[in-house]
């Protein structure tokens, strides 16, 4: 019988899936620093924080913590440092910390799926259709989220600017 899913574990798994997908999108995307990058980056950071924080409510069958919990603490700090680096416009540090955090979450994912007793491998064995549906729902949600933010960003670019043009003469009160 596969281990039972709890609400906390489901939230953790969904956030982890989003962090993997949105992180991959950020890495393969050429344009960095634009509105889409910042928006998807915020979603990714939120997903990473949800993953790290919910991990502490998930313990082993004997009630203890594992190396994954240590990775969660480390990841919480690396994501936070990378976020601060972006705010301070230290983009090389930002890139390094965010890439490291992303590859850390990939490592945790591998660590989870190679252990046969964990929920995802058990679901692959006992409920492949349910796992396939779950994966499809996550991938489609991520795809439409990125598509929506990309279109919103493109529409925002087409809007006229509210800032006065450099050639405007006189103050706003004169007009």
168 in any annotated domain: no
Comparison of pLDDT for 75 and 133, the residue scoring more: 75
Element at 50 (helix H, strand E): helix 35-55
CA 52 to mean position of chain CA atoms: 11
172 in any annotated domain: no
The predicted-structure confidence for 103-118, as pLDDT tens digits, reads as follows 999 988 888 788 777 7
The residue-averaged pLDDT of 12-16 equals: 91
Task: Label residue 156 by pLDDT band (50, 70, 90).
Answer: low
Q: How many domains does the chain have?
A: 1
Contact present, 14 and 43 (Cβ < 8 Å): no
Looking at residue 114, what DSSP letter applies?
T
Report d(CA 131, CA 42) in Å as an integer.
27
53 in any annotated domain: yes
Q: Which domain holds residue 35?
A: 7-157
171 in any annotated domain: no
| 7 pLDDT higher than 70 | yes
The predicted-structure confidence for 63-77, as pLDDT tens digits, reads as follows 677 777 888 999 999
How many CB atoms within 10 Å of residue 49? 17
23 in any annotated domain: yes
Comparison of pLDDT for 65 and 100, the residue scoring more: 100
1 in any annotated domain: no
């Amino acid at each position: 019988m596969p281990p039972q899913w709890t609400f906390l574990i489901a939230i953790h798994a969904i956030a982890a899936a989003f962090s993997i997908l949105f992180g991959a999108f950020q890495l393969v995307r050429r344009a960095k620093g634009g509105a889409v990058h910042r928006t998807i980056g915020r979603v990714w950071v939120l997903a990473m924080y949800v993953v790290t924080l919910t991990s502490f409510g998930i313990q082993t069958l004997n009630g203890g913590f594992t190396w994954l919990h240590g990775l969660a603490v480390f990841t919480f700090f690396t994501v936070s440092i990378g976020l601060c680096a972006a705010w301070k416009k230290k983009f090389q540090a930002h890139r390094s910390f965010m890439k490291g955090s992303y590859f850390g979450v990939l490592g945790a994912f591998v660590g989870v799926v190679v252990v046969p007793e964990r929920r995802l491998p058990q679901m692959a064995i006992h409920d492949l259709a349910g796992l396939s549906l779950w994966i499809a729902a996550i991938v489609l949600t991520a795809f439409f989220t990125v598509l929506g933010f990309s279109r919103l960003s493109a529409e925002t670019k087409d809007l006229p600017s509210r800032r006065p043009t450099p050639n405007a003469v006189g103050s706003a009160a004169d007009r």
